[in-house]
Structure 1
Amino acid sequence: MTLNEEDKLTIRKYALQNAVKYSQPPKTGAVMGKVMSESPHLRQMAKEVKPLVEDVLNEVSEGTPDVWKEELNKIAPELLQELYTKKEPTKGLKPLDVEEGEEVVMRFAPNPNGPPTLGSTRGIVVNSEYVKKYNGTFIIRFDDTDPQTKRPMMEAYDWYIEDCKWLGAEPDKVVYASDRIPVYYEYAEKLIEMGNAYVCFCKGDEFKKYKDNKKACPHRNQSPEDNLYYWNNMLNGEYGEKEAVLRIKTDIQHKDPALRDFGAFRIIKTSHPRPEVDGKYVVWPLLDFEGAIEDLECEVNHIIRGKDLRDSERRQRYIYEYFGWKYPKTTHWGRVKIHEFGKFSTSSIAKSIENGEYLGWDDPALPTIRALRRRGIQPEAIRKFMIDMGVGETDISISLESLYAENRKLVDSNANRYFFVWNPVELEITGVEPRNVKLSLHPKEKRGYRELEIGSKLYVCQEDIDSINVGDKLRLKDLYNIEVTSLNPLKARYLDDSVERIKKANLPIIHWIPVNGVSVKVIAPDGQYEGFGEHGIADEVDSVVQFERFGFCRIDSVDDKIIAFFAHK
């Protein structure tokens, strides 16, 4: 294959930048990454492009740092300047480019095929935060015009609004794209009349061959009158699915195949779950067309989108240019990878729920806001977690431990402490009288006490006794010291109440529950834990408590047994 001059220049400038940055010959991997990011049309030919890139790198490698710097300053001075400009911190939100007197209008546009996840929450929080900062308008737009591939879920519409409100991101306006189909038809007809759109009858693989070879398909030069006739036939349901597509004319010779005559409307005869629109339409807009029109109609002037959606923006700009509109100011950000979840999609989660792999959309193992909310993660912690990521093009890899750390700050002072013994084993203690024990509800806050009545039998955790032997001495937390006298059955004798013994003998400390404790089940991301807890836990429904030596949990219900959802350590 051969590269055009623009592609060669792209390779050379990034090769020079890499060489200047490290004062050594450029590295293939780093340069390839930069080139593919700027020239996405080369991605599908990466194997063929790589040796050509290496040829340029070998040529550049023959120079010296001074030569590299001089040439880079000539062909791409902005890349040289980038190396010597101190980058602003990515943490937090950088200012928007707002003109004086401009009202900031931003939107978040989910496909409601499931509830918000941590991935979509970044868009909700950041857009709403910017709008608050500039006293603007925040719009939630449901992109629900694909009833087939990404079929909307009726419950998800309400879930999105509920979760937005809970996150402190209540929208000023809610738009349902499926309600606006006639509006999209009007703009489509205008483009047809202008000669900028045509009805294509090519099969998918057939059109791809034309596109890949930079050739117009046989239908591209149909007259506007013919296209309007075919368009009306589409609307009247006279064609089958995939039989006809309305395409936007672009540059059929464009270097990026993704921008060559893209599809704007296709025929889908699958029912739509919303009764308001079900059965009304068989021609549905594709996302790039619908989004372009809605951003104009809703007067959106600032967009934050993933850097992987640059091609969508470039396609939409054709529509804006044809109508003479000004495109919104756009900021791109990189992908976010959360260690604990890896790759996930709403559709794959839905299938797993159907297969019984999860309890539902609020299963603690899932990355949904409904799950985090049920676990006791606070909205303020999620907002800060998202805002601290900032808005930059660098891909981010982050752990939920950062979110948990923020949440811990919020719940720690309010969370009452209780004992919970999971995988319990009965322990019988000799030489001790029954007693009432007063334990503090919080180690630092003056909030009162809980009282426990104990006798000669207690429950302790199996894992606490797995490594002990007869004769070992232990401390029962906030109670007294014992010496193990038997392992099967588990027995011990009372020693004393001395706290000094703990310090001198460095005794292991374990927690416990009276045998009259209440049944407790904790549902956590890694499984379920069953055992016994204190009676006072039953008064904490919907509150976050700390089970000592176990973690923070939100008490979900107290019917037959106490059900708690694990938040974090």
Structure 2
Amino acid sequence: MSLLDVIKDQIKQIALKHALANRFKYGQAKPEPIVNKILGEFKEVRQYAKEVIAIVRDVVHYVNSLNNDEFRKLIDELNVSLESEHKVETKILPPLPNVDKWKNVRTRFAPNPDFPIHLGNARAAILSHTYATIYKGNFILRFEDTDPRTKKPMPEAYEIIREDLVWLGVLWDEEYIQSLRMDVYYEYLRKLIERGYAYIDTCNPEIFKELRNKGIPCPHRDADPSTNMEKLDKIFAREYEEGEAVVRIKTDLTHPDPAVRDWVIFRIIDTSRYPHPITGDKYVLWPTYNFAAAIDDHLMNISHILRGREHALNTVKQMYIYNYFNWHYPEVINLGRVGLEELVLSKSWIKTQLKLNPDKFMGFDDVRFGTIAAFRRRGVIAETIRQIILDLGIKGSDAKISWKNIAALNRRLLDPKTKRVFVVCDPVKVHINNLPVPLSIKIPYHPSTNLGQREYIIKSSIVYISSKDAEVFIRNGYLRLMEFANIKFLRKENDAIIAEYIGGDIEEAKKLGANIVQWVSADHNINVRIISVRGMNLDIMRCLGESSLLEFILNDIVQMVRIGFGRIDAIKKKGVIIILTHE
């Protein structure tokens, strides 16, 4: 299978967006500029220029054949920006290795539900899902929850992870929960013991470690399989306590890494003390990560595994299971670690802080964290996360993601489709003499995109502007209230400003050198509290916003003019709380 076969659908989708924007701009789409863009952006496909031209021509013919209603509908469905010809920056992923060896491509995302997923986890999920989509294969979600003691599953994490994946557009074809598959693992455990490939070890852990490090076999290693099966039955009968016995797989005792030598495939966990959130105390013998993952990857016909480079040793360990059963190991792509500047990614650190200092944080979705839920709460959209991850690709080297880069991309994606509203912080009252009230004004929500408008009947001659804008007004003498009025500074009385209405023409305001600022009227304002992130601190700004904010719903993202983008976190009778996403 050639690279072109793999990415043909991606090229069609990219060409379609370019063609729609091209037709909108020129009336008819033309293939030549679209071909040039694709070949210029994606060097990998230049060797297939002839085939790319044919694909683009077909797409252009299709776009030009659409009637106006169909054309508009498709633009809306694909969210094509029409301010300028749509810039498609999605990178084409390299082909997966050895696809031809497999009946079909099946990838998986296997989170431990001990906590919600973060940006680093999302990388494996998005890439695995994208490859399954490219190859028209299957994507599996598998919860790896077989450690009810050290990495005890968090009951609500299962559903939170599902919600995070759906929000990211990562939809799965099959779902499995390992704690509900214990009989499967026991079946293969018995097969290994019966064939002499695994044994019950009742040595003191320190003694075993000392023997292992010297390459000396444990005294129980060569016990007859029947003896090991008897001991296994005793474990199931709960005749052994936690720590008194483990099950080990026979490996190479001379392996240079002692961790590979006869590693543990099952251990006893006292679930009367550490109950599992799904199975309670039903089981005491639990498979380790490497055993359960190895068995499941085979039984679920996983063809390609995309996981962190730190799992490289796990591949070595799991190969022993695959060799004993004569199975073919999946293709593995080791991804580098993802770091995030200015936000916290460490699950262990976050869990510790939430436990020790619950009052200092907003929960697992605290906007200072790097969890997917935190990004969503802050107002970062799923498209931004996906594009950041796809831009990283499948590099094996570590990568550091800058919050500035996330904010820049998020801003670019949000701007054409986000309503703009007026909010003033540290408000100063302005009395406007000669304002012809009452009057009706209509203010569009966006200057260049049709996002509707709000209408106000202004009856009061009092408005509010920010204290910073008030200082400039006093210094310059003139001010333009955006979409409303030009005013002249007269004097300051106590904490208020007395001004004079001098017209509504914006060109006149430009001649006067008046700054154009957002404002809110005394008739139509609500309280707005803006929460912003500053390092590990949260700053709170108390502001006034226009009353149309009450028409928005929870989770809506707005652009506060000259302040920044923000997500509505709470709506109250007399105001809203907005989390500042970024400027």
Q: Structure 2 length normalisation: TM-score? A: 0.76
1:486 corresponds in structure 2 to 492
Post-superposition offset of 1:564: 2.8
- 1:562 equivalent to 2:570? Answer no
Q: How does 1:254-265 map to 2 (within 5 A)?
A: 254-265=255-266
Q: How does 1:317-332 map to 2 (within 5 A)?
A: 317-332=319-334
How many Å separate the matches in 1 of 2:421 and 2:549?
7
Post-superposition offset of 1:357: 2.4
**Contact 1:404–1:568 (Cα < 8 Å) also in 2:** yes
The counterpart of 2:543, out of the listed 521, 531, 536, is: 531
**Contact 2:155–2:277 (Cα < 8 Å) also in 1:** no
Relative distance call for 1:313 and 1:387 in structure 2 (3 A) is same
How many Å separate the matches in 1 of 2:91 and 2:416?
27
**Contact 1:474–1:510 (Cα < 8 Å) also in 2:** no
**Contact 1:470–1:487 (Cα < 8 Å) also in 2:** no
One-letter amino acid of the structure 1 residue matched with residue 443 of structure 2 = L
1:248 corresponds in structure 2 to 249
**Contact 2:90–2:390 (Cα < 8 Å) also in 1:** no
**Contact 2:113–2:145 (Cα < 8 Å) also in 1:** yes
The counterpart of 1:315, out of the listed 290, 298, 317, is: 317
Post-superposition offset of 1:172: 0.7
Relative distance call for 1:100 and 1:292 in structure 2 (3 A) is closer
Relative distance call for 1:281 and 1:457 in structure 2 (3 A) is same
2:58 corresponds in structure 1 to none
2:64 corresponds in structure 1 to none
**Contact 2:152–2:276 (Cα < 8 Å) also in 1:** no
Relative distance call for 1:256 and 1:326 in structure 2 (3 A) is same
1:34 corresponds in structure 2 to none
**Contact 2:473–2:489 (Cα < 8 Å) also in 1:** no
**Contact 2:445–2:451 (Cα < 8 Å) also in 1:** yes
**Contact 1:92–1:391 (Cα < 8 Å) also in 2:** no
How many Å separate the matches in 2 of 1:283 and 1:92?
45
How many Å separate the matches in 1 of 2:241 and 2:451?
70
**Contact 1:426–1:460 (Cα < 8 Å) also in 2:** yes
2:362 corresponds in structure 1 to 359
2:56 corresponds in structure 1 to none
2:32 corresponds in structure 1 to none
- 1:518 equivalent to 2:526? Answer yes
One-letter amino acid of the structure 2 residue matched with residue 344 of structure 1 = S
Post-superposition offset of 1:105: 1.0
Q: How does 1:330-479 map to 2 (within 5 A)?
A: 330-345=332-347, 347-354=348-355, 355-430=358-433, 432-434=435-437, 436=439, 437-452=441-456, 453=458, 455-465=460-470, 471-478=475-482, 479=485
Aligned with 1:199: secondary structure?
strand
**Contact 1:433–1:455 (Cα < 8 Å) also in 2:** no
Relative distance call for 1:515 and 1:363 in structure 2 (3 A) is farther
**Contact 1:90–1:389 (Cα < 8 Å) also in 2:** no
How many Å separate the matches in 2 of 1:229 and 1:487?
93
Post-superposition offset of 1:463: 4.2
2:94 corresponds in structure 1 to 94
One-letter amino acid of the structure 1 residue matched with residue 96 of structure 2 = L
- 1:222 equivalent to 2:226? Answer no
One-letter amino acid of the structure 1 residue matched with residue 572 of structure 2 = D
1:544 corresponds in structure 2 to 557
**Contact 1:469–1:484 (Cα < 8 Å) also in 2:** no
**Contact 1:450–1:536 (Cα < 8 Å) also in 2:** yes
The counterpart of 2:502, out of the listed 455, 471, 496, is: 496
Relative distance call for 1:461 and 1:243 in structure 2 (3 A) is farther
1:303 corresponds in structure 2 to 305
**Contact 2:490–2:500 (Cα < 8 Å) also in 1:** no
Post-superposition offset of 1:388: 1.5
1:63 corresponds in structure 2 to none
Aligned with 1:154: secondary structure?
coil
Aligned with 1:123: secondary structure?
helix
One-letter amino acid of the structure 2 residue matched with residue 114 of structure 1 = F
Aligned with 1:212: secondary structure?
helix
One-letter amino acid of the structure 1 residue matched with residue 491 of structure 2 = T
- Gaps of at least 5 residues in structure 2 are 1-42, 46-88
Relative distance call for 1:201 and 1:427 in structure 2 (3 A) is farther
One-letter amino acid of the structure 1 residue matched with residue 444 of structure 2 = S
Aligned with 1:225: secondary structure?
helix
Post-superposition offset of 1:490: 3.2
Relative distance call for 1:448 and 1:205 in structure 2 (3 A) is same
One-letter amino acid of the structure 1 residue matched with residue 467 of structure 2 = Q
Moved more, 552-561 or 166-175: 552-561
2:13 corresponds in structure 1 to none
One-letter amino acid of the structure 2 residue matched with residue 287 of structure 1 = Y
1:182 corresponds in structure 2 to 183
2:28 corresponds in structure 1 to none
Post-superposition offset of 1:127: 0.8
How many Å separate the matches in 2 of 1:488 and 1:208?
79
**Contact 1:474–1:509 (Cα < 8 Å) also in 2:** no
How many Å separate the matches in 1 of 2:271 and 2:451?
59
Listed one character per residue, the Cα deviations across residues 138-173 of structure 1 (whole Å, up to 9, x for unaligned) are: 111100001111111122112222222232221111
How many Å separate the matches in 2 of 1:502 and 1:209?
84
Post-superposition offset of 1:276: 4.9
Moved more, 435-444 or 332-341: 435-444
One-letter amino acid of the structure 2 residue matched with residue 544 of structure 1 = I
- 1:197 equivalent to 2:198? Answer yes
**Contact 2:266–2:285 (Cα < 8 Å) also in 1:** yes
Listed one character per residue, the Cα deviations across residues 65-120 of structure 1 (whole Å, up to 9, x for unaligned) are: xxxxxxxxxxxxxxxxxxxxx99999542111210772111111000112222121
How many Å separate the matches in 2 of 1:484 and 1:292?
78
How many Å separate the matches in 2 of 1:518 and 1:547?
14
How many Å separate the matches in 2 of 1:343 and 1:375?
15
The counterpart of 1:291, out of the listed 273, 285, 293, is: 293
**Contact 2:154–2:277 (Cα < 8 Å) also in 1:** no
Post-superposition offset of 1:507: 4.3
**Contact 1:421–1:460 (Cα < 8 Å) also in 2:** yes
Post-superposition offset of 1:414: 2.2
**Contact 1:105–1:131 (Cα < 8 Å) also in 2:** yes
**Contact 1:476–1:512 (Cα < 8 Å) also in 2:** no
**Contact 2:478–2:513 (Cα < 8 Å) also in 1:** no
**Contact 2:427–2:467 (Cα < 8 Å) also in 1:** yes
Post-superposition offset of 1:285: 0.8
One-letter amino acid of the structure 2 residue matched with residue 568 of structure 1 = H
2:21 corresponds in structure 1 to none
Listed one character per residue, the Cα deviations across residues 31-90 of structure 1 (whole Å, up to 9, x for unaligned) are: xxxxxxxxxxxxxxxxxxxxxxxxxxxxxxxxxxxxxxxxxxxxxxxxxxxxxxx99999
1:231 corresponds in structure 2 to 232
Identity of aligned residues (%): 37
**Contact 1:518–1:533 (Cα < 8 Å) also in 2:** yes
**Contact 1:154–1:274 (Cα < 8 Å) also in 2:** no
- Please provide the CA RMSD for this pair: 2.8
Q: Structure 1 length normalisation: TM-score? A: 0.78
**Equivalent residues, number:** 482
**Contact 2:247–2:265 (Cα < 8 Å) also in 1:** yes
Relative distance call for 1:464 and 1:201 in structure 2 (3 A) is farther
